[in-house]
Amino acid sequence: MRRLLAILSIILALGLGNTALAEVQWHETNREVQGKAINDPRTSDGIEIYGSKGTITIVTTKRITVRVYTILGQMVSQAILQPGTSELRLGSRGIYLVRIGNMTHKVAI
């Protein structure tokens, strides 16, 4: 019985965690980015990705589909971003995987 309660508690906690992550949204911004771009030859197509102070920032010259995952593979955000600068403020620091098309980038914030 205790084992069953422990399993149900874990499932409930994971379910509530997914709800909190689903509320994260991208915002377009005009402010100047202060951080370090990921130096990756795959980003030469006009996309820059920054991680700084609890925020992932993407600068793009074209419309892109972005998916952000935790290091454990849990999806945090999925969005279509328009050309320009967009920010995703996250509630916790850590390492995230940012997937754009068929490219995946690691971002530490």
The confidence score (pLDDT) of residue 18 equals 42
Q: How far is CA 69 from the centre of its chain?
A: 6
Please choose, from the candidates 3, 38, 9, 20, the residue with its C-alpha nearest in 3D space to the C-alpha of residue 77. 20
d(CA 98, CA 86): 13
pLDDT tens-digit map of 92-101 = 889 999 999 8
CATH class of 24-108: mainly beta
Mean pLDDT across the chain: 77
d(CA 12, CA 71): 21
